[in-house]
Structure 1
């Protein structure tokens, strides 16, 4: 008997929360099918939707690495496991593509083996998968993909991750323009030092956003979705970004920003109707720049990975 798991896409940074804040959405996402085999070791038997870009070597694949680390931890390093990965997300989209695969994989192996670990105990293995994907063990995509909802990474050493309250009527409208912004490029253009005044402004916005989530104060959430440090630099990599953000706000978005390292542009909205209108306006603006795009509208996902 095998298990089939879906894990969701995520929006990391969320404007003012660079590297420490993220939330999950209902779509897109990735699927992993996993079953035991009679042999020894982990095998990736099939990958779809990746145009041949991903390695089937478990030691070089985000899903494989996280599963290997998990099996090592529970004392069954030689257990025979077959993995099929269905990539249903665009690469380099800023929506946590590698994180969705990794979380689906580690959640699936835990389910397959009868849940020896609690869900929150799976995070360190998912983080190891991210290390393979982008060279750094970031948790701002894998943590919300695993826990669902909004997640704050307070510290890495020691790892301290806090799931935040999410207002029930908070929706995300995400538009993914079909241009690629590699994460390494988006990181390489960032400044090493930040002026004190900008840092103070950013801290205030991050605190305001978290307070807004807990108080379910949509106006405060909107006022706080402002990034004065990262967005001014990264937005130059996304054609038409300022116009796309402008129409989102004109259509009633609480706030808008770059999802992860881009090029996807997220907006937080009150209610599905507002989120749909905002998403369509952004899609239309990208079209004016001659750029095709995909639109995803969903409530903030509270479940994380699910068995299908």
Structure 2
């Protein structure tokens, strides 16, 4: 390995849950993405610099990238350190995997500088420490697609069992209203118990969604994009959610829902034309409410964290 070598990476935003797949399904999108520069140094320690204005902590103990690197360094037998510069385009609290992008991005970059010592599954395990810091839970439905790319299924966390799902062509429309929903808060309002009839319906939707993805069956994907457990609770935190969902489906969207814990809302479409029409419907709802918002029309990305320069 060469010390003082730097690498620049792009870490994509991710959509977790995919409506019915709470904590087990997620996918990466082509944009937005965070940019990170990571430098390997001979002197032990971790330094973190943010070039954005989100006010995130730079103390490695309180930064998701920092605790991810600490987990990685604990597995090394040689004393090394890292300098990390982060520019976040994925706003914290957006529901688009902002913390996952920092954790996954630094894990992939550091691993590359170390000569690819660790496989992707281990990188996910390191980066999950960042998610625990951010939300209190070691969930992997953002981390995994951010590292693996595409759509991923986390069958189990302990032990970690990851399945990559070959995705049909899917266009993604995302609207991010400028309100904040913290992941920890969104988790705290969830019901601790569910009715068996709801669990059975949810299992059927998850199985149908995975089958639809594997078979490129858009009609089955559409029928399966239904959440009877999480969405009815969390959607109350997002103004205009029901109207956006109704108008998006009327515009031709296959379906969609809350991205992660919100407040962003995503919709899947079979064509770019439909995805753009859905964007217009989303914009109209929030314009009517005088609520500042940003929209993205993108695709499910086959790639995860990308190395863009060395």
TM-score by length of 2: 0.95
Match in the other structure for 1:203 = 203
Match in the other structure for 2:41 = 37
The answer to whether the Cα contact below 8 Å between 1:120 and 1:147 also exists between their aligned partners in 2 is no
The answer to whether the Cα contact below 8 Å between 1:208 and 1:221 also exists between their aligned partners in 2 is yes
The answer to whether the Cα contact below 8 Å between 2:13 and 2:31 also exists between their aligned partners in 1 is yes
Structure 2: give runs of 5+ residues left out of the alignment. Answer: none
SS at match of 2:43: strand
Equivalenced residue count is 304
CA distance in 1, matches of 2:239, 2:268: 21
Show the 5 A alignment for 1:210-249: 210-249=210-249
Residue by residue over 1:234-273, the C-alpha shift from the partner in whole angstroms, topping out at 9 and shown as x without a partner, is 1111111111111100110000201111110000110222
Residue by residue over 1:80-123, the C-alpha shift from the partner in whole angstroms, topping out at 9 and shown as x without a partner, is 32111111111111111000011110111011122122333311
SS at match of 1:278: helix
Residue 79 (structure 1) shift: 0.6
CA distance in 1, matches of 2:121, 2:272: 30
The answer to whether the Cα contact below 8 Å between 1:146 and 1:305 also exists between their aligned partners in 2 is yes
CA distance in 2, matches of 1:152, 1:50: 33
CA distance in 2, matches of 1:163, 1:260: 19
Match in the other structure for 1:79 = 80
Residue 151 (structure 1) shift: 0.8
Match in the other structure for 2:252 = 252
SS at match of 1:34: strand
CA distance in 1, matches of 2:306, 2:286: 33
Residue 287 (structure 1) shift: 1.3
Residue 185 (structure 1) shift: 1.9
The answer to whether the Cα contact below 8 Å between 2:8 and 2:307 also exists between their aligned partners in 1 is yes
CA distance in 2, matches of 1:7, 1:21: 18
Match in the other structure for 1:100 = 101
Aligned-pair RMSD on alpha carbons? Answer: 1.2
- Tell me whether 1:49 sits opposite 2:49 in the alignment: no
- Tell me whether 1:16 sits opposite 2:20 in the alignment: yes
Residue 75 (structure 1) shift: 2.1
Residue 144 (structure 1) shift: 0.8
Residue 38 (structure 1) shift: 4.5
SS at match of 1:39: coil
The answer to whether the Cα contact below 8 Å between 1:42 and 1:79 also exists between their aligned partners in 2 is no
Match in the other structure for 1:135 = 136
The answer to whether the Cα contact below 8 Å between 1:15 and 1:225 also exists between their aligned partners in 2 is yes
The answer to whether the Cα contact below 8 Å between 2:54 and 2:91 also exists between their aligned partners in 1 is no
Match in the other structure for 1:27 = 31
Match in the other structure for 1:5 = 9
Show the 5 A alignment for 1:254-273: 254-273=254-273
CA distance in 2, matches of 1:147, 1:260: 18
**CA distance change for structure 1 residues 294 and 51 in 2, over 3 Å: closer, same or farther?**
same
Match in the other structure for 1:112 = 113
TM-score by length of 1: 0.96
